[in-house]
Amino acid sequence: MKKTTKLSLKQLLFANPWGFVVPVVLGVVASLSGVALLGVSGWFISAAGLATSVGMGLFFNYLTPGAIVRGLSIFRTAGRYGEQVSSHNHLLGLLKTLRLWVWDQRVAKDSANLYEQSRGDLLQRLVSDLDQIIRWPLVVFLPWIYALLSYTVVALFAYFILPALLWPMAVAALLHLVVVPYACGRVASHAVHVGQILGVHRRSRFVSLFSALVTLTIRGHWKDYAKRLGQLDQRQLHTELLVQNAVSTGRLLAYIITMGLIVSSFYLVSSIEPETGKWVLLEGVQGTWMVGFILSLLAVHELVLPLVQSFVAQGQSYVGLRRLNQLYEAPKDSEKRFSTNSKNDINHMSFEHWRGFHASSGMGNAPIDLTIQSGDKVWLRGLSGSGKSTLLASMAGDCLVSGDAVINGVKCDLYDNAAYQQHISYLPQFPYIFQQSIAANLRMGQADASEEALWSVLEAVALADWVRSLPNALETLLSSQGRNLSGGQRKRLALARLLLRKAPVLLLDEPFDGLDKATIETICKSLQNDYKPDILVLVSHIDSRLGDDCQVVDLS
Amino acid sequence: MSKNKEAKKPSKASRFKTPEVVFLDGLSNQQSSKYRLAQGFGVLFAVSLVLQAWALANVFSDMALHQSFSLSLLVIGLFAILLRALANFGRERICTSASRDIRYGLRRKLVSHLTELGPARLRIDEDAALSTRVYEQVDALDDFFSRYKPQVFMVTLIPCVILLSVVSISWIAFFVFMLTAPLVIVFMIFVGHKAAQANRRQFSVLAMLSNQFMDLSQGLAELKRLSRTDEARDRLSYSAESYQKTTMGVLVLAFLSTATLELFASLSIAMIALYLGLGLIESLPWQQGSSPVTLTQAMFLLLLAPEFYLPLRQLGNDYHAKQKAEAAATDLLEILNTVQSTAKASAPDSNLSADINKQAFLSLRQVGWLESGRHRLAPISLDVFKGERVWLSGESGVGKSSLLHLLLGFEEAYQGEFYIEGRPFSERNLAEWRTKLAWLPQSPEWVNGSIKRNLLLGIEAPSDDVLQEALRKSQCDDFIQALPNGLETSLTELGSGLSGGQMQRLSIARALLSQADVWLLDEPCSGLDTETANAVLNTLNQVSKGKTLLIVSHDTHPILWADKHWSLNKGGLHEKNNQTIA
């Protein structure tokens, strides 16, 4: 399921409707049981008291209400438990969906813009933004549903006591469920947005300043910069204060509304008796029922209290959502295809006025014309900065180009062309080693490679002895970004991975940097025999046996 | 890390406070007056709770029995509710403000501490990760200080107040409360322990998941080239699923214990309700024909019963706040415990002082330092004369960088004697000394902004000629001219399109512009390929003539033009003849 739409809160709600229904139902059962528990037990006790006072105590059926009270308390607990379990299960499912969504967006990005976001920024989006979004159904939506339903049930009860009670109920419900949370959410949402922006700004300022800490300190200017960082923090504090004030004030308002509701209910069901000065209940209104009603109102109040906070949380979810949607990549209208029959191997490549360049700086090589045929070996040479690496990357479809490329006699667009890239193997200057085992890293080249194939390719790049010396051999886990490997080992491992692919075109950027003579010799021998590509393009400033029979292209 | 955790467990068992707990306690003590005020509001809250229950119980029983109620009691009841709301409001405001003050104060402290650490901060973590600690991890303490900490007080206060007000009314209710409260607390501890385990496990697995995502994402270009993006997606999907499964396994248990606690509270409320109901209709098995409580008293008990367990349940819900805070505290303590200097330089040793070469620009005698019994730098003695260019080589970990940090003034806990221009280093004005320095580390230091802003970072803007001259000498002019925006091109954290060699050239230009006459270079060529490195070193040779220069470089990048070559190892410093290598 490739998701290519933008994210929205509605979509989150319906991402897995059945997974969502279960916690909703259980949560409703639990909340209603909680309200009923208080109401019924209030009624039960007052009715019992009344029965005794009128001498009917012995005939009072206490078994049924007693059973109901116990039943409700069990329902409440079991419902709450089921809700917690099922909602967390749902939440984890959402987490997976969202993570894969982010991944798909990353994959859809073209190579030149792949690393627009810094690592820290991506991590923040991945962790805190996702966290804020997935909590939305749980923190915002569900509590609101519970409060709404309990209000409805209590209103039904109120109708049986005295229909006029519906009026204050409706007004209070409107205020409790809509007006106050919305108003507080509105007030806070601006602060939430500002806070989020400030947070991102503050972090990038922090990283930027600290990365130049020594220079700034040496120049005696650190204090000014640090002060500005502190000011940013102060502004953040201010927004935090605003949000917290909105939440506390909202809670206070919720209390006041509840009080108003209780006062008006009492006013509606009673009238003053002038002689005694006492307030007496209207005809037809049962005192015991009234007790149950007021108690259940207090229980509803407990359900309403968290709503203010949840609307503020909604603001946070929105911000998180917006930030995640910044990763969104519109689906490409036309799929770029390697125009010739994809099964055919590349046997002829010709480049006209070909110039590769970097998107941000526009730097690259001077335009060249180059034709390569099956069996050719090309050695690109040139001074540092003449754009050899950029040229090679552009031939691999990794960076922006001007000029035309004709592959197997057909003109095609190489940049970010997945079908073309299947036919070539490109070793960049700083290849990436994954935080997986050596075998898994190698098998990225060929998923079903046998263990013998792995050993023989390791032999070919002169790494076999080193791997054999490791206690876990092929299963050795490599650390993050291959940090426990030397530069040369990292490069050779990446080369081995490429050789396993057996692609007809091999593009190598400085494969020999940092290697000793004997190792270079071994690799050359492999590339000339067992792992000989149809077409080889080499960038290297080191003389080697491989370079001797190459066609040399000098870029400077 | 894992070792660390194992070591913590037994200490917890033996009831010693972990450093994290001590740290958090210390922080909350800073705001003790606010917390005391919050406790005052808590007392007000508890009192109004009882008052509300008493007034409403009277109103209710009157209503049930006589179909009427007293207005004054209702007003008292409502007034109690208002009082309760206000107390809660005040308590919340004070606690959040205490938490804010603690967190923002701590953050200032962390930033200034990191500043003092200077380059040594990178021993803890890279800057991006440090920023997470300084911002996110500090904010992770919020729930602890604003909710958990004050709640601990409420958990003891409210049940006590309720017990006190109940004791005169019903012995049975009092005993039900008395007996269940300890049981609930026992459960709490049990639940807390379970939740803690679940939480810790969840945290580590989640971190692992993020890590996996970041790893695959960092290597995405490689995956695309290898046409393996779908496999990577499957991998992510698979690990997310298995994470879901294992976490649910843990959570089902963790919630089950919470649920048991809830059930316990619910059932004891139901028990009290049933007891009161039966008592009122005079059908208690042991007390038939008479009622132990009046309806008013029964109502009062019923209203108080849920309030008795509520704070405990809230504490149970907030327990994760404590876990989160302790996890964050571990990370923050790591920063605060990384000290720059444990002790000031030892008293001047007259023997060594006498040996100082007063003519030399830099003169070190037996300078080194021990850190927890291990030599970070073996004692070395050296003299550097003005205008001399010195190449320092040696294996990693022998203290080459530490020596440079010492010269930068970021390390003070050295032993031995260290003189600059014939005067002890400790007597020199650090700020004035630092203005003489230029610092060129392995990865040049950049701020977000244009090339120009970075070149002129912290110096007076020079004339255009001076700037062009510096760019020409450092051979930056060619590639800057080729940029569409020239000097105004922004250097972002990543991917400006400039190569490593070009970046180093820019930092050479910056050093030239700063007019510094002492250049300290820490492996300026380590990230470059041999060819580029040689070109950069050639430029350095040309521009640094006449400067005093100390360059740390591996043997793989020999500095052939240096006047002296010193090799540093665990045993100390050895001068080598630079010409024989050449």
pLDDT digits (tens, 9 = 90+) for A518-539: 888 888 888 888 878 888 888 8
Residue of A81 and A343 predicted with greater confidence: A81
Question: For A169-183, A353-367, B562-576, which range has the lowest pLDDT when averaged over its residues?
Answer: A353-367
Residue A225 has pLDDT above 90, yes or no: no
Mutate to test the interface with B, among A215, A261, A293 (most CBs of B within 10 A): A215
Return d(Cα B115, Cα B513) in angstroms, integer.
24
What per-residue confidence (pLDDT) applies to B78? 92
CB within 8 Å: B434 and A217:
yes
Q: How far is CA A57 from the centre of its chain?
A: 63
A465 vs chain B: nearest CA distance in angstroms? 23
Instruction: Report DSSP state, residue B137.
Output: I
What per-residue confidence (pLDDT) applies to B33? 92
CB within 8 Å: B215 and A434:
yes
Q: What is the mean pLDDT of residues A77-103?
A: 84
Confidence band of A228 (pLDDT split at 50, 70, 90) = confident
Q: What is the mean pLDDT of residues A122-142?
A: 74
Structure tokens belonging to residue B55: 């007034």
A111 vs chain B: nearest CA distance in angstroms? 6
Question: For A136-145, A419-428, B522-531, B544-553, which range has the lowest pLDDT when averaged over its residues?
Answer: B522-531
What per-residue confidence (pLDDT) applies to A330? 67
Q: Which residues of B touch A384 (CB under 8 A)?
A: 501, 531-532, 535
CB burial of B240-269 (b: ≥16 within 10 Å; e: otherwise) equals beebbeebeebbeebbebbbebbbbbbbbb
Return d(Cα B163, Cα B317) in angstroms, integer.
23
Confidence band of A480 (pLDDT split at 50, 70, 90) = low
Residue of A93 and A335 predicted with greater confidence: A93
Return d(Cα A40, Cα B506) in angstroms, integer.
79
Summary mean pLDDT of chain A = 81
Among the partner-chain residues B127, B244, B410, the one whose CB lies closest to the CB of A92 is B244
Q: State the distance between the two ends of chain A, measured CA to CA, in whole angstroms.
A: 49
Classify residue A185 as exposed, middle or buried by CB count within 10 Å of its CB (0-12, 13-18, 19+). Answer: buried
Among the partner-chain residues B64, B114, B258, the one whose CB lies closest to the CB of A288 is B64
CB within 8 Å: B459 and A244:
no
Structure tokens belonging to residue B311: 């704070």
A464 vs chain B: nearest CA distance in angstroms? 22
Residue of A493 and A345 predicted with greater confidence: A493
Residues 6+ apart with CB under 8 A from B41: B87, B88, B90, B91, B94
All structural domains of chain B, each given as residue ranges with its CATH number in brackets, are 19-336 (1.20.1560.10), 350-580 (3.40.50.300)
Return d(Cα A382, Cα A355) in angstroms, integer.
15
Classify residue A270 as exposed, middle or buried by CB count within 10 Å of its CB (0-12, 13-18, 19+). Answer: buried
A491 vs chain B: nearest CA distance in angstroms? 13
Q: Across the A/B interface, how many CB contacts are shorter than 8 Å?
A: 418
Return d(Cα B429, Cα B439) in angstroms, integer.
18
Of B296, B298, B291, which Cα lies nearest the Cα of B276? B298
CB within 8 Å: A46 and B63:
yes
Of A389, A216, A416, which Cα lies nearest the Cα of B498? A389
Which 3 state secondary structure label does DSSP give B180?
helix
Length of chain B in terms of residues written: 582
Structure tokens belonging to residue B543: 């521009």
What per-residue confidence (pLDDT) applies to B349? 58
What per-residue confidence (pLDDT) applies to B11? 41
Diameter over CA atoms, chain B: 114
Return d(Cα A523, Cα A529) in angstroms, integer.
10
Mutate to test the interface with A, among B67, B276, B302, B481 (most CBs of A within 10 A): B67
What per-residue confidence (pLDDT) applies to A482? 59
Backbone angles phi, psi at B369, to 5 degrees: -150, 145
What per-residue confidence (pLDDT) applies to B81? 92
Is the Cβ–Cβ distance between A275 and A151 less than 8 Å?
A: no
What per-residue confidence (pLDDT) applies to A2? 43
Tell me how far CA of residue B124 lies from CA of B131, B326, B335, B345, in angstroms: 12, 18, 7, 24
* Ranges in chain B, pLDDT < 70: 1-16, 188, 191-192, 194-204, 206, 257, 289, 340-356, 370-375, 396-397, 492-497, 527, 578-582
Return d(Cα A6, Cα A22) in angstroms, integer.
26
The one-letter amino acid at A332: K
Return d(Cα A172, Cα A155) in angstroms, integer.
11
What per-residue confidence (pLDDT) applies to B582? 39
Among the partner-chain residues B130, B270, B280, the one whose CB lies closest to the CB of A73 is B270
Q: Which residues of B touch A287 (CB under 8 A)?
A: 62-67
Which 3 state secondary structure label does DSSP give B96?
helix
CB within 8 Å: B136 and A294:
no
Q: Which residues of A touch B493 (CB under 8 A)?
A: 118, 204, 207-208
Does pTM surpass 0.90? no
Of B92, B27, B13, which Cα lies nearest the Cα of B328? B27
Return d(Cα B134, Cα B118) in angstroms, integer.
16
Residue A342 has pLDDT above 70, yes or no: no
Strand ranges, E, within A147-287: 270-273, 278-281
